[in-house]
Amino acid sequence: LIMTNPVWVVKTRLCLQYGLDTNIPVSSNKHYYGMMDALKKIYTVEGVRGLYKGFLPGMFGVSHGALQFMTYEEMKNFYNTYRNMPIDAKMGTMEYLTFAALSKLFAAAVTYPYQVIRARLQDQHREYKGSWDCISQTWRNEGGRAFYKGLMPNLTKVVPGTVITFVMYENVSRYLLDLKQQNTEKITI
């Protein structure tokens, strides 16, 4: 996060940049011509703090993966217990696909608000005094739904990749375990 936060700030600002081809006046210090130009201008105008806007909410991003994996594993365990099977029993592709999608949906629903806060803190068009100011202004002016703006396009982007990753992981893991078992049996014979 220490290395990537400046890149996230630049990405967010480049995505939210407007003004050159509109009637909206934009300071030359807030218009960026690319990644290196943005890094230089942000550092020059705002200092190191400008490159680390949204850092604190970004720290919560680590919890996303933990929640996703925990949920995925717990769903698999519960399902196998329900089927009266060993916890590590092999399942079908549809089960893996379903659990992967549901675990991603759960993790995203829990952690998405931090992404909204981080993006708002990194936006050069708004000024906040910090994370709590951003949260309170967002809540006061837009309500709780504002913390989930963009969630559906985000899920549309990330769920397919998650499903493919988890299904591949399960199948490759199972293949390697079976291969190891076969080699062990050959050695003992």
Q: Tokens at residue 121, please?
A: 């803190």
Average confidence (pLDDT) over 47-75:
87
Numbers of helices and strands, H then E, in the chain:
8, 0
Q: pLDDT confidence of 102, banded at 50, 70, 90?
A: very high
**pLDDT of 50 higher than 60:** yes
3-state secondary structure of 56: helix
Q: How far is CA 128 from the centre of its chain?
A: 23
Cα–Cα dist 38/76, whole Å: 45
Residue 126 carries which DSSP code?
Answer: -
Greater pLDDT, 106 or 5:
106
- pLDDT > 90: percent of the chain: 54
Cα–Cα dist 141/133, whole Å: 12
Average pLDDT, the chain: 87
Cα–Cα dist 11/16, whole Å: 9
Q: pLDDT digit string (tens) for 115-170? A: 899 888 888 677 888 889 999 999 999 999 999 999 999 999 999 999 999 999 99
Q: pLDDT digit string (tens) for 7-34? A: 988 988 888 776 655 555 555 556 888 8
Cα–Cα dist 81/76, whole Å: 9
Cα–Cα dist 115/138, whole Å: 13
CATH class of 53-188: mainly alpha
**pLDDT of 189 higher than 90:** no
